[in-house]
Amino acid sequence: MTWMAPRTVAEAVRLKAEWPEATLVAGGTFVGILTRQGLLASDDWISLQDVRELRELSTGSELALGAMVTHRRIELDPGVAAGWPGVRQVFAAVASPRVRNAATIGGVLGDADYASDPPAMLIALDAWVEALSVRGLRRVPVADLIVGHYRTSLEEDELITRVLVPRGRHHVTFRKLRTRSREDRPCVAVAASLHEGRVSVVVGAVAERPQRFPDLCATWDPADGASAGEIAAGYADRIDPIGDNRGSAAYRTGMIAVEVRRALDTLAPAALTAQAAGR
């Protein structure tokens, strides 16, 4: 087994180019589970634990999170809570403090696990990732990053270095339906954001990638309760959900409709206030 521990981003990117089949290790929470279960076997590993540049967090015109920033740090950072409450809320909902102290934002996106909490909210907030390789840097919307079960649109030699979230989306809600325990992963997760009169609803944990339908959201009338129900029914109708030990496909279909409607009902007062103010 080859274990590599770069100390700089440049060194990590070089190693990823030289060892394209090597498995990246960030916080190690998900990779550890897959390895113990015999679902992941690798002879070559690249650990990012010593790359200090990837632990940077800044709150300015946008929220910039290095790939090695932990869930717990995002949850507890006052700047994140003030400017990006939805980001704080979704990372605080992941598992337990013990897991959140180790799990990283780059790891949760790179794993592309369908039942992860954060991707739905990051998509609702129009976040993107910076992917770096020896060929250069490119920005990828989180909505385009996850393409299937444990599959991303990253090239073999690319490394997620930062996640960027624009400022300005202050009305958000996150609904997480757990069916087994308080620390469980979601059976259905719904993230919704309201910004400048536009609502975005993203459903996670029900299919191989988060589901969003802007055309349905565009029909929302916050003053009409039936409108939220129609949109929720539309989401339930369009999504072909999976079945697993957290819920059958039929159960998920029913709960998608319930949780999407509840998310829209939560945002309706803020939308009506904004309409009254002419925004």
Q: Is the pLDDT of residue 169 over 80?
A: no
Whole-prediction pTM: 0.96
Rounded CA-CA distance 143/88 in Å is 19
How many of the other CB atoms lie within 10 Å of CB of 13?
A: 20
Residue 278 in this model has a pLDDT that exceeds 80: no
Q: What is the pLDDT of residues 24-58, one digit of tens each?
A: 999 999 888 888 888 788 999 999 999 999 999 99
What is the distance between the alpha carbons of residues 136 and 149, in angstroms, rounded to a whole number? Answer: 27
Round to whole Å and give the CA distance between 185 and 167: 28
Q: Are strands 198-204 and 188-195 parallel, antiparallel or unpaired?
A: antiparallel
The closest alpha carbon to 79, from 66, 65, 93, 67, belongs to 65
CATH topology for 171-276 is: Enolase-like; domain 1 (3.30.390)
| % residues pLDDT > 70 (the chain) | 99
CB within 8 A of 102, min separation 6: which ones? 27, 28, 29, 70
Q: What average pLDDT is seen over the chain?
A: 96
Backbone angles phi, psi at 213, to 5 degrees: -130, 90
Tell me whether the CATH fold assigned to 2-166 matches the one assigned to 171-276. Answer: no
Between the alpha carbon of residue 3 and those of residues 19, 23, 32, 107, 212, the distances in Å are 11, 10, 15, 18, 39
Position 226, amino acid:
A
Predicted pLDDT of residue 116: 96
* pLDDT higher than 70, residue 272: yes
Q: What is the pLDDT of residue 279?
A: 58
Take residue 134 and report the two structure tokens written for it: 């020896």
Question: Is the predicted pLDDT of residue 61 greater than 70, yes or no?
Answer: yes
| Three-class HEC string of 12-80 | HHHHHHHCCCCEEECCCHHHHHHHHCCCCCCCEEEECCCCHHHHCEEECCEEEEECCCEHHHHHHCHHH
Q: What is the CATH number of domain 2-166?
A: 3.30.465.10
pLDDT of 243 > 90? The answer is yes
Higher per-residue pLDDT: 183 or 154: 154
**Residues 179-237: tens digit of each pLDDT:** 999 889 999 999 999 998 999 999 999 999 999 999 999 999 999 999 999 999 999 99
Sketch the domain layout of the chain as residue ranges: 2-166, 171-276
Structural contact between residues 70 and 102, judged by C-beta atoms closer than 8 angstroms: yes
Instruction: State the DSSP string of 82-142.
Output: HH-HHHHHHHHTSS-HHHHTT-BHHHHHHHT-TT-SHHHHHHHTT-EEEEEETTEEEEEEH
